[in-house]
Chains A and B, each alone.
Chain A
Amino acid sequence: MPLAEIFSKHPEHRYIMFGGKGGLGKTTFSAATAYYLARKGHRVLIFSVDPQASLSDIFEQDIFGQGKVELMENLFACEVDADRRIHEYQDQIRRKILDMYGMSEIPEEIESYIRAASAEPAMEESAIFDAVVDIVVEGGFDYYIYDLVPLGHALYYLSMGAIYDAWLEKITGLREQMRQYDEAISTMKRQGQTSEDQIYQELLDIKNRIGASSRIMTDPKRTAFYFVLTPEEMIIEDTRKAAHLFSQYRVPINGYVVNRVISRGLLEQNIPEYLRHRIDMQRGALESIRTAFGDRVLAYVPEFDSEIKGWAAIKSLAEVMYEESLP
């Protein structure tokens, strides 16, 4: 089934993700899809969850850390500035501590913890994860296109939801138990009602935020995940493994898009041996793709003679992907 048909048949798919190894064309496919859907009259938001985001490069406009930027009619893009978000978050925590206890400065050990925690590599990913929750929960768009990070990171990103969930499950349980103890103690001492546990409330809030995000990622009704691959044996093998892992996280895989297919028609021309070999290699690989993924391959996108960058290139890629000429 062609890609365009899937989109018209499943308007309920609101969260679109392209995943795959690095450098295969996730960002270009995301951009082309965003362009296509926006031209069809839908309100589209494309956003990057990659700390080294490249949306600014492909759209040739600096959007880093500027919130949702309108690039053309119906098309918005967003690149999260994780560093700034972490700084703002830290300041928020500091202010809360100062306010809560009427302190004039943060105690040394608390301050050093705040600084050390922010230096953790997981911090940046978590900050982006949290930002995405904000973006998605806020709503206001017909389509959300995730420009995902390369496979390994994407798996980490997906599993983070599950890890957070399990972690929170445990500590909310403990907190609830603590609350019961508080109640028992105040009954024994014949004191009045215990005060509401603010930590418990915070935990529930965190749980809801994470729950919302992982529910979306694994919702087969609203989410469509597409794998990007190229006709090379090693990449096919990796994609197959990744698809297996993703399905274990219950990510709904909708299909595969093959990128960088060199036109077979070139063989009839006078072309160098090098190109002849590459076309030959691709023929074998395309055969493997057909056996591995069959009719789940939704599109074969040819190798372009120039880099996909800027509106004209995005438009022509979208036209090839969705087999339709666009304004």
Chain B
Amino acid sequence: MTENDDKNKKRGGLLGFFKEFTYGMATHGMARQALKTRSSMEHLFILITMGDMLGVPILPPYYSMRLLPYVVPQITTWKRRMLRERDMIESLY
């Protein structure tokens, strides 16, 4: 019994490790890239709906206000990202 269990665990562990390994090799980079693009899109979205927060007037505030509650947690990082200075080195990454 115990031997079997150990075997199973080992196999599962091995399989799990293998899964993690291939994920790391093949898709982790892609997923990371996709997440990065996704967060850029999120910021673009806030810009086109709440742009007037940064002084970029964008139509129409009445309806964009309806979306405000959903982006409250992202507002601070978005503002920081939009308003920060950019340098040459950054574009290398």
Contacts and interface: CB of A to CB of B under 8 A. Distances in A.
Contacts of B27: 188
A175 B63 CA distance: 16
Interface in B35-83: 35, 37-38, 41-42, 44-45, 48-50, 52-53, 59-73, 75-76, 79
Contacts of A189: 23, 31
Contacts of A130: 62
Nearest to A99: B69
The size bracket of the interface on A is: 35 or more
B73 A110 contact: no
A164 B60 contact: yes
B53 A206 contact: no
A181 B59 contact: no
Interface in A178-228: 178, 181-182, 184-185, 188-190, 198-199, 202-203, 206
A110 B34 contact: no
B34 A113 contact: no
B60 A122 contact: yes
Given A171-B45, A182-B38, A116 B52 contact: yes
Among B27, B63, B76, chain A packs the most CB atoms within 10 A around the CB of B63
A274 interface: no
A96 B62 CA distance: 16
B5 to A, nearest CB: 25
B34 A93 contact: no
A101 B75 CA distance: 14
A56 interface: no
Contacts of B34: 181, 184-185, 188
Given A171-B45, A202-B67, A113 B59 contact: no
Contact of A199 (B23, B37, B70): B70
A206 B72 contact: no
Among B23, B34, B37, B69, chain A packs the most CB atoms within 10 A around the CB of B69
Among B42, B60, B75, chain A packs the most CB atoms within 10 A around the CB of B60
Among A97, A110, A177, chain B packs the most CB atoms within 10 A around the CB of A110
A163 B60 CA distance: 9
A72 interface: no
Interface majority SS on A: helix, strand, loop or mixed?
A: helix
Nearest to A130: B62
Nearest to B45: A174
B35 A170 contact: no
Contacts of A110: 68, 72, 75
A264 to B, nearest CB: 49
A188 B32 CA distance: 10
Contact of A206 (B38, B61, B63, B79): B63
B30 interface: yes
Contact of A97 (B42, B62, B68): B68
Interface of A: 89-90, 93, 96-97, 100-101, 107, 109-110, 113-114, 116-118, 120, 122-123, 126-127, 129-130, 160, 163-164, 167-168, 170-171, 174-175, 177-178, 181-182, 184-185, 188-190, 198-199, 202-203, 206
24 contacts: A89-B65, A93-B66, A97-B72, A101-B73, A107-B72, A109-B76, A117-B65, A118-B61, A120-B61, A122-B59, A122-B60, A126-B60, A130-B62, A160-B60, A164-B63, A167-B60, A171-B45, A171-B48, A174-B44, A188-B27, A188-B31, A188-B34, A190-B23, A199-B45
